[in-house]
A = this chain, B = another copy of it.
Amino acid sequence: MRMAELSAESGVPVATIKYYLREDLLAPGERTSPNQARYDRSHLRRLRLVRALLEVGGLSVAQVRDVLAGIDSSPDAHAALGTAQSAITAVRGRRDEQTRAWAAGLLEEVASRHGWSLKPGNPVVDSALDTLAAFAELGHPELVARLDDYAGLADRVAELDLAGVSGRPEREGPERDSTVEAAVVGMVLGDALFAALRRLAQEHASSRAFRG
């Protein structure tokens, strides 16, 4: 299909498609003349994915590029998820060393109970430590008591995140992408979805707690 049809089919304006092409978020179409190119279903699919990651996932262009690289070039779905996780985890301002050491001890305890691995240099671990340290600095000791409960719920959410894809055997060839893509989409958009559901649930819980 031509760019105008790609735009009509996806609902993405032509100017935006051109921007994605310039930013390497979308592979170039097959040239049919100096000013025209042909696009296929794989372009349409990728275009929808890019738009969802940017608009719904709230990722930056650079993050989307890294996530796509993970989908396209990782040896398997587990590796692709790892690349995507690193790409979408922001590095935050560091807290003081003493508080971080306290947070590290706490997180190690929780991780060992839940079978999680805490690889040094993993941005996800850094992000967890910084968040725990920030809670401590703001004086929220009740959090420590609830951390294990949060971790247990995180396990159950993660199992749901993976459930849609892990049932399928990992495929080779053109089908491989769809397993990997589904896993990554489930993770990135799953964050946005769960955050939205949690806010609706919080409103309900807050209304009961404070307006009883």
Among the stretches A17-25, A26-34, A49-57, A65-73, the one at the interface with B is A49-57
Of chain B, the residue at the smallest CB distance from A187 is B202
Judging by beta carbons under 8 Å apart, are B140 and A200 in contact? no
Q: Roughly how many angstroms separate A189 CA and B166 CA in the complex, as a whole number?
A: 30
A128 near B202 (CB under 8 angstroms)?
no
Residues of A in contact with B, size category: 35 or more
Question: Contact between B55 and A185 (Cβ–Cβ < 8 Å)?
Answer: no
Q: Which residues of B contact A90 (CB under 8 A)?
A: 58
Residues of B within 8 A of A189 (CB): 131, 134-135, 138
User: In chain A, residues 31-77, which have Cβ atoms closer than 8 Å to a Cβ of chain B?
Assistant: 48-49, 51-52, 55-56, 58, 76-77
Of B134, B162, B182, B198, which contacts A157 at CB under 8 A?
B198
User: Taking the complex as formed, is A104 at the interface, i.e. its CB lies under 8 A from any CB of chain B?
Assistant: no
Interchain CB contact under 8 A, A200 and B89: no
**A117 and B204 within 8 A (CB):** yes
A14 located at the interface, meaning its Cβ lies under 8 Å from any Cβ of chain B in the complex: no
- How near does chain B come to A118, taking the closest CB pair, in angstroms? 7
- How many copies of the shown chain assemble into the complex? 2
**Do B127 and A162 have beta carbons less than 8 Å apart?**
no
Give the CA-CA distance A20 to B121 in the complex, in Å.
Answer: 31
Given contacts A56-B92, A89-B199, A153-B153, 6 further A-B contacts (CB under 8 A): A52-B138, A56-B93, A158-B201, A158-B202, A161-B205, A162-B205
A residues with CB within 8 A of B: 11, 48-49, 51-52, 55-56, 58, 76-78, 81-82, 85, 89-90, 92-93, 95-96, 111, 114-118, 124-125, 127-128, 130-132, 134-135, 137-138, 140, 142-143, 146, 149-151, 153-166, 170, 182-183, 185-187, 189, 191-207, 209-211
Can you identify 24 A-B contacts, CB atoms within 8 angstroms? A49-B138, A56-B131, A58-B92, A76-B210, A76-B211, A85-B199, A89-B196, A114-B200, A114-B201, A117-B207, A118-B200, A131-B189, A131-B196, A135-B189, A135-B193, A140-B185, A149-B160, A150-B160, A150-B193, A151-B197, A153-B153, A153-B157, A158-B202, A158-B205
